[in-house]
Structure 1
Amino acid sequence: MASLLSLTESTLVNLGLNVVISTGLLLGGIYVFTQLKCWYDLYEYDRGDKTGILRPPQIPYALPWLGNSLAFAVKEPQKFWKQLFSWYPQAVGACTIVLGGQNTNVLFNRYAVSYLMKDRDLGREIFNIDAVNKGFGLTLEESQLYYEANVVRGVKDKDRPDHPEGQKVSVEYLLRSDRVNELTAKFLEVFRELLIENPLPREPINMYSWARTLMFRSSITALMGSRLLEVFPDFEAHFYQFDSDVQAMFFSTPKWMMPGAFVNRDKVLDTLVKWHDVVISETNDTIADPDTVAWDPYYGSRITRKRQQYYREIGLERKLAWAGLDLGLMFAIASNAVPATGWMLMHILQSVSNPPQSPEESLYTHVTSEIITARNEDGTFDISKLCALPIFNSTFSETLRLYADTLINRMLPYDLTLPLSDPKSTKQRSIAMKKGDIIMAPSWPAHHDHQTWTEQFPHLPPPDQFYPYRFLTKHPDDKEVEGDKMEFTTTHATGMYFPFGGGKTMCPGRTFAKQEIMAAVAIILCEFDLKPLGYVDENGNESKEFPIVKDCMPGTAIMAPKGDVKVSVKQRNK
């Protein structure tokens, strides 16, 4: 009997070893095969063929179906791109990675990206559905209902409108200049009220943390009404607990791997459901007409009230679905505008703590001198004038260039060929992609492509550095030459700079985001005397380093700072 047990144990051990060895050999074989294929594809790219049309080289992987998913979805800022471009020539302009069994063609060539954005037939409905289903708690059926998902994967529908009814709401209320200006005016009204109601602390403060609360409460009140934060004052804390992990949900991270993230999301959704109950009770379920009433305390802005009407019109019955879509709107605004404001302020103040040889060269001096010209006699700002200031605009755009991490995703319902060469070039190359594949144009490789930016602008600092004058036609301290006017422009960076996405699905809230960011920065710089005292890390401990980017997954949009700038704050004399 003992010998039989010994034999059985030996057999099981050998069987286990055989399984491990076989699995290792299989995975190793897959990796070797895909690596050899990648090298061959790169060789073909270098050699080129007679037509100049190439397939994107396949990045090697070992795990079937998962492919490159685990490496891509790591929660370490830009690790995937940095590792990829340590050996893969970025000049190739494209590659193919496998994400969840799906071939994804990644573009990092400015001409290919530009042409992609011009294609009006390619949509991202399937990605929108995926996001609200996985990230914001809607069922698949509710997600499809909201986005009118009558588009079958792999079928081109030329009759499909550019903006389904649900998206028309955003276009109507977030892109019309009068609607946006109205929303910004409400944001500024609340922002100033908060500054008056909350006296400045005598002790030094962490500036980003202070500005974050001001921005969040002002944005949410302007957008969603005042009752939400009045009834649920802890909503901000719950929102940022949710915000820190939602990106992992978009990548289908299972609940057992991050139970706390789902608890935080459920907490936020539960709060929003209760908010709906409060509003319905206090208004007798009557929504103020978004076409005649600019703002009300219950549902806030016109766009929020129009969305509430739309939920009911299309038959979304669960308040939890309403809450999820409301959370998505707040996430799109607050999770991007707030950190962008923080980065702008920190970089402007960094020029004070590390002054150049000449005071005239300080970014702080340049920006404050400009924004004063957009200030009205009553202390308010002319928003259109403020947002047209060249140095201020360039600083804003450079902030987005350095800290934006957006993913433009498109589903291919047909074979597509995109150019890789300048149309003026004598040697034309193109990249060919197949029907059913995904196209991804990530902003980070484009925004940080050393070769492209230095070739285009050899006289400017490299793209890994913050340079606030990058988008000006001349440096503000250069001598005036007749006909040589300093202007702000991004036209020279087409296909290299797209922090708000691009094409027909470009972020509809981009104008409001820009206005609230620039207005908040202008108010803080004009109303307060800020003296930088040093840096702190994420735990509030003294640090010698300027804040770095917080850990995040690809597609985070504006990456949040990990750390802060400690400042003393004094009210300026009126």
Structure 2
Amino acid sequence: MALDSFSRAFAAWRPSGPSDYLAVSALLLLPFLLTYTLTYIKGYWIKTTRSKHGGREPPPAPYAIPGLANTIGFARDPEGYLRRMLKRFGEVPFRLIVGPYRFYHIPPGDLLLQLFRASRDLTAKPLTVMAMRDQFGLPEEDMNVIYRDDSGINAKPLEGFENMDPKHRLMHNNHRDLHNLLSGSALDVMTARFVEIYSDQTRESQVVPKSQSSNKEWTQLPDLYEFLRDEMFQAACTALLGDHFFRLNPNFSSVFWEFDRNVMAYTRRLPRWLARRAYQVRDETIEALVRWRDHASEHYPIHGPEETKAEWEPFWGAKLMRAREIMLNDLAVSKTGKAVFDLGMLWATNANVIPSAFWALRAIIATPGLTERVLAETSSCFDEETGGVDIAALCSKPLLTSIYLEALRFSVGVTPARNLLVPSIELGPWKFERGSTLIANNWFGSRALGFWNTGRDLDSGKPEHPVDSFWAERWLEYPDDPASGPLRKPDASLYRAATKPRTIEDDANAKVVTTGTAGYFFPYGGGTKICPGRFFAKQEMMSAVAVFLREFEFELVDKEAADRIELDMSYFPAGSLPPKGKTAVRIRRRER
């Protein structure tokens, strides 16, 4: 009765002035203000009492809108939002609710190392489900091969799955094949094939005609990234999928990179009517892979292990792809489903390493004297008579290795995600229950102020090489320089001396240092679930950069404009970030 009277009175009420409008606005905003205040206070209280009470759930990141929680802030600017929360919570994990997902963000440092050390109690399956279902579009009937497998990645199945058919253990079999066939002799053959194809491509490239090697005229390219990207991608795909793939799919490169530009549309699960072109281009990539599979199966049918003995052959390419064909046949995956698994493989082996290779090459070109130092360091790795490359020797060179590591530190924003297989785990004073999703992001550890060496302290008060800049020598320790090395040392006086220009002789005596960086630098993830393709990625990136520099001379058309090119944050937090904008260069063949 009283409620009816109030409703009638409110319906009959009419605002009479600005004060009434303010009162109504305040009344409407009150629930959101109260929600934010309560979640803020709860988060602050849990954070500040963590040392007194162990075994607590981490605090929530505050939010204002019940139901949506942290969704809007995270969706609008995931990097900025996470950065602000990390600043607020410091070394304390915090809980986020984004759409239907609830997860805990683990800050860089010791807690993250504890998480990686607890790998046996964790699984990456939920992330696999999201990637295969949402990003790559695995048909629902094929998703069942993932849903039903909770046996873990180890040779011994987890409790309750001891009697599972070994052929149906997708997670273990996939983990085994990737680790076995992306290392050792199989890796050596695939990398050698990549370098051979890539070297041939650069020598025969029509973008820079050979006739220019005599007259030394420059060709202007509108975008260095696009040139490097397409050359690397074609060589990497051929090394992985064989000689016939691009003959069957000549436009695949442009289709694939358009698919890559739409990754966030898929992961956000936008409906087809809102992202029609995004889904159309994904369908085109899958159709291309189905076409290749049909051709390979017709000319090189695989019935069992006998057909997987060759390390490489022209129809299926790498031994890994034939081993995966047997695995997917055993799982009765559909033809389309197999192509989707292939798409996931292609994306994982290209979409991260190629942007990072661009940032490495761009830094070399833009830094005075660095091209000459890299060429001098790597010259002994090339055989002038055969055109071959000693990959092992190349990947051991200090300066080039430092550039490779710095490219990963500078450009990678990968997000490992783990779920619990056990009832609970504790990281420091924080307790996580079964069903919890724990995430971290390499981006923030790679930019942790006070942790990384930023060079000398300038008179302006700014560091010589800030954490958000590319410094080719950041990972090198020089015998004559106690201020060198990747980590900031506690003695501030070390950073007051003037910088000594480095020489080819200095580089030869330098040592690459990674000790102490693990909790802050994890571009390939960590623990037993660390990316199995990291060895191929390293060899591919370092050899591609070295071959490019040996074949071509580069000049930036406009250095100031090139310096303004930023990382494209629209790709965050899916992995390596490509450039936002085009880097114009002049290019010509190098005289040797």
TM-score bucket of the superposed structures, by smaller chain: 0.7 to 0.9
Query: In 2, distance between residues paired with 1:131 and 1:116?
Result: 22
Give yes or no for contact 2:256–2:285 (8 Å, CA) kept in 1: yes
Q: CA offsets per residue over residues 488-540 of structure 1, 9 Å max, x none?
A: 121121211000111111111110011011001001111222222226xxxxx
Post-superposition shift, 1:545? Answer: 3.5
- After superposition, residues 393-542 of structure 1 pair within 5 angstroms as 393-413=401-421, 414-419=423-428, 430-453=429-452, 461-474=465-478, 486-534=510-558
- For the pair 1:78 / 2:94, whether they are aligned, the reply is no
Post-superposition shift, 1:208? Answer: 1.6
Seen in structure 2, the aligned counterparts of structure 1 residues 35 and 454 have a Cα distance that, compared at 3 Å, is farther
Post-superposition shift, 1:390? Answer: 1.0
- For the pair 1:563 / 2:581, whether they are aligned, the reply is yes
Q: CA offsets per residue over residues 318-354 of structure 1, 9 Å max, x none?
A: 2110111000000001101211111110011011xxx
Give yes or no for contact 2:455–2:465 (8 Å, CA) kept in 1: no
Unaligned runs of 5+ in 1: 1-7, 356-361, 420-429, 536-541
Give yes or no for contact 2:398–2:511 (8 Å, CA) kept in 1: yes
Q: Any idea what SS the aligned residue of 1:516 has?
A: helix
Query: In 2, distance between residues paired with 1:93 and 1:486?
Result: 37
TM-score by length of 1: 0.83
Q: Any idea what SS the aligned residue of 1:328 has?
A: helix
Query: In 2, distance between residues paired with 1:481 and 1:301?
Result: 39
Seen in structure 2, the aligned counterparts of structure 1 residues 228 and 66 have a Cα distance that, compared at 3 Å, is farther
Give yes or no for contact 1:207–1:564 (8 Å, CA) kept in 2: yes
Give yes or no for contact 1:121–1:158 (8 Å, CA) kept in 2: no
Q: Which ranges of 4 or more aligned residues in structure 1 deviate by more than 6 Å? A: 17-23, 159-162, 285-288, 455-460, 478-482
Give yes or no for contact 1:405–1:443 (8 Å, CA) kept in 2: yes
Alignment match, 2:58 = 56
- After superposition, residues 4-23 of structure 1 pair within 5 angstroms as none
Post-superposition shift, 1:454? Answer: 5.7
Post-superposition shift, 1:232? Answer: 1.2
Post-superposition shift, 1:196? Answer: 3.3
Give yes or no for contact 1:255–1:262 (8 Å, CA) kept in 2: yes
Q: Which amino acid aligns with 1:29?
A: L
Unaligned runs of 5+ in 2: 1-7, 15-20, 162-168, 210-217, 458-462, 479-483, 485-499
2:318 counterpart (296, 301, 306): 301
Query: In 1, distance between residues paired with 2:302 and 2:203?
Result: 33
Alignment match, 2:227 = 210
Post-superposition shift, 1:260? Answer: 2.1
- After superposition, residues 163-178 of structure 1 pair within 5 angstroms as 164-174=172-182, 176-178=183-185
Seen in structure 2, the aligned counterparts of structure 1 residues 479 and 118 have a Cα distance that, compared at 3 Å, is same
Seen in structure 2, the aligned counterparts of structure 1 residues 455 and 227 have a Cα distance that, compared at 3 Å, is closer
Alignment match, 1:344 = 360
Alignment match, 2:164 = none
Q: Any idea what SS the aligned residue of 2:512 has?
A: coil
Give yes or no for contact 2:242–2:316 (8 Å, CA) kept in 1: yes
Give yes or no for contact 2:134–2:269 (8 Å, CA) kept in 1: yes
Query: In 1, distance between residues paired with 2:511 and 2:40?
Result: 47
- After superposition, residues 67-466 of structure 1 pair within 5 angstroms as 67-74=69-76, 78-85=79-86, 88-90=88-90, 92-119=91-118, 120-146=120-146, 149-150=149-150, 157=158, 164-174=172-182, 176-199=183-206, 200-201=208-209, 203-205=219-221, 206-283=223-300, 289=306, 291-316=308-333, 318-351=334-367, 355=368, 362-378=369-385, 379-413=387-421, 414-419=423-428, 430-453=429-452, 461-466=465-470
Q: Any idea what SS the aligned residue of 2:277 has?
A: helix
Query: In 2, distance between residues paired with 1:213 and 1:289?
Result: 34
Range with greater deviation from structure 2 (266-275 or 490-499): 266-275
Post-superposition shift, 1:266? Answer: 1.3
Query: In 2, distance between residues paired with 1:13 and 1:304?
Result: 72
Range with greater deviation from structure 2 (484-493 or 408-417): 484-493
Query: In 2, distance between residues paired with 1:390 and 1:135?
Result: 37
Post-superposition shift, 1:148? Answer: 5.7
Query: In 2, distance between residues paired with 1:416 and 1:562?
Result: 40
Query: In 1, distance between residues paired with 2:375 and 2:503?
Result: 20
Q: In percent, how many aligned pairs have the same letter? A: 25
Give yes or no for contact 1:279–1:285 (8 Å, CA) kept in 2: no
Post-superposition shift, 1:481? Answer: 13
Query: In 1, distance between residues paired with 2:229 and 2:101?
Result: 38
Give yes or no for contact 2:454–2:466 (8 Å, CA) kept in 1: no
Seen in structure 2, the aligned counterparts of structure 1 residues 486 and 197 have a Cα distance that, compared at 3 Å, is closer
Q: Which amino acid aligns with 2:337?
A: A
Query: In 1, distance between residues paired with 2:242 and 2:403?
Result: 31
**Aligned pairs, number:** 528
Give yes or no for contact 1:269–1:327 (8 Å, CA) kept in 2: yes
Range with greater deviation from structure 2 (458-467 or 381-390): 458-467
Post-superposition shift, 1:294? Answer: 2.3
Q: Any idea what SS the aligned residue of 2:49 has?
A: helix
Post-superposition shift, 1:272? Answer: 1.9
Query: In 1, distance between residues paired with 2:280 and 2:170?
Result: 36
Query: In 1, distance between residues paired with 2:392 and 2:436?
Result: 42
Seen in structure 2, the aligned counterparts of structure 1 residues 363 and 432 have a Cα distance that, compared at 3 Å, is farther
Q: Any idea what SS the aligned residue of 1:64 has?
A: coil
Query: In 2, distance between residues paired with 1:126 and 1:524?
Result: 39
Post-superposition shift, 1:478? Answer: 6.8
Post-superposition shift, 1:82? Answer: 3.4
Q: CA offsets per residue over residues 182-205 of structure 1, 9 Å max, x none?
A: 100110111122223323156211
Q: Any idea what SS the aligned residue of 2:416 has?
A: strand
Query: In 1, distance between residues paired with 2:551 and 2:531?
Result: 31
Seen in structure 2, the aligned counterparts of structure 1 residues 150 and 162 have a Cα distance that, compared at 3 Å, is closer
Q: Any idea what SS the aligned residue of 2:103 has?
A: strand
Alignment match, 1:41 = 46
Post-superposition shift, 1:220? Answer: 0.5
Query: In 2, distance between residues paired with 1:560 and 1:79?
Result: 18
Q: Any idea what SS the aligned residue of 1:187 has?
A: helix
